[in-house]
Structure 1
Amino acid sequence: MGSFPYPHGRSQQGFTLIELITVIIILGILAAVVTPRYFSMVDDARVAAARGAVAEGASRFYMTFADYTLNNSHTTPAGLSDISGAAYLGLDGGNRLVVGDFRLTYGGGADGADVTIDVEDRGGDGGWSEVDAASATVPWPGS
């Protein structure tokens, strides 16, 4: 009797069909559980980054307000239009400012009213889409 590499005289050629199907089912279950969580985390990260952009926008607004006040003999701006130009906030004609992958839109601010900051995210196609959970209202300084 010759020697066999496996006990009891059987040689193993590979995996059985049942073993392969079992592994495929387990991988499918894992993918079904992990994929939604991954996309949820991607959305959460997008909203968190947009909130960071809004915080930067609020910071820029307050810094610009202070800069205007110091450069104009301690006269405060009457409204957002006084500080929206290229010398200060640098907003475009639609009161928008691009900050990285985000576009901030400033609103309000007339006669000392609160300023709203809305944020849009640049999509993969280059278009802009609003991020609802990341807008903010900041009070006009001194009001």
Structure 2
Amino acid sequence: MKKQGGFTLIELVVVIVILGILAVTAAPKFLNLQDDAKVSAVKGLAGAMKGAAGITYGKAAVRGVDALPSTDSAAELTDIDGVSGAVKLAYGYPVAGSDGIEKVVDGLDTDDWAKDVSGANTYGYAGFDCVVKYTEATADDIAKIEVLGSVDGCESMNAN
């Protein structure tokens, strides 16, 4: 009679225990992927805002309106590609809000981003503590784009 080969009960239990330990240590990493994705999206938004503000400033400088405050009626650009209507400027950079930065950053004026989620001129996900804050340029300082929040990885990038 041939002896059948197979695993003993103890060997199966050991394998199940090892798989359980691996699952417990790996599961938290996979569960945090949504937060990591949101942080990356917010950082991407900050980069888009920085690029759009820089391009707008360049166009304003070429036209000679980069030194005008937002209260000056000539402080606006009307022919930015892909933007309908005038973009209001403060010292060459887009003003905060719907007449400025929201016009020049593609998709910022849609429902994809929540506005003023943790203070004035902040953009991010509702209920998520990682946002981009846009601060208008002043006579003494350029426009600032900051990533703020307490979520892991959120505070690691700040751009002017």
Q: TM-score, normalised by structure 2?
A: 0.49
Q: Is residue 2:29 matched to residue 1:27? A: no
Could you tell me whether the CA contact under 8 Å between 1:65 and 1:76 is conserved in 2? no
Could you tell me whether the CA contact under 8 Å between 1:119 and 1:131 is conserved in 2? yes
Q: Is residue 2:139 matched to residue 1:134? A: no
CA distance in structure 1 between the partners assigned to 2:31 and 2:19 by the alignment: 18
Unpaired runs of at least 5, structure 2: 88-93, 141-160
Q: Is residue 2:56 matched to residue 1:64? A: yes
Could you tell me whether the CA contact under 8 Å between 2:124 and 2:130 is conserved in 1? no
How far did residue 118 of structure 1 move? 1.3
| Higher helix content, 1 or 2 | 1
Q: Is residue 2:52 matched to residue 1:55? A: no
After superposition, the C-alpha distances for 1:72-120 in whole angstroms (9 at most, x for unaligned) are: 65563516x956962547x868x74516xx53748xxxxxxxx834123
Query: Which residue of the other structure, out of 30, 34, 43, is the alignment partner of 1:38?
Result: 30
Correspondence for 2:113: 103
1:77-116 to 2 correspondence within 5 Å?
Answer: 78=70, 82=76, 86=84, 87-88=86-87, 96=102, 98=107, 103=113, 105=115, 116=121
Count residues in correspondence: 115
CA distance in structure 1 between the partners assigned to 2:138 and 2:59 by the alignment: 13
Q: Percent same amino acid among aligned pairs?
A: 24
CA RMSD of aligned residues (A): 4.0
Unpaired runs of at least 5, structure 1: 5-10, 107-114, 121-128
Q: TM-score, normalised by structure 1?
A: 0.54
Query: Which residue of the other structure, out of 110, 119, 123, is the alignment partner of 2:124?
Result: 119
How far did residue 48 of structure 1 move? 2.7
Correspondence for 2:153: none
Structure number with greater Rg is 1
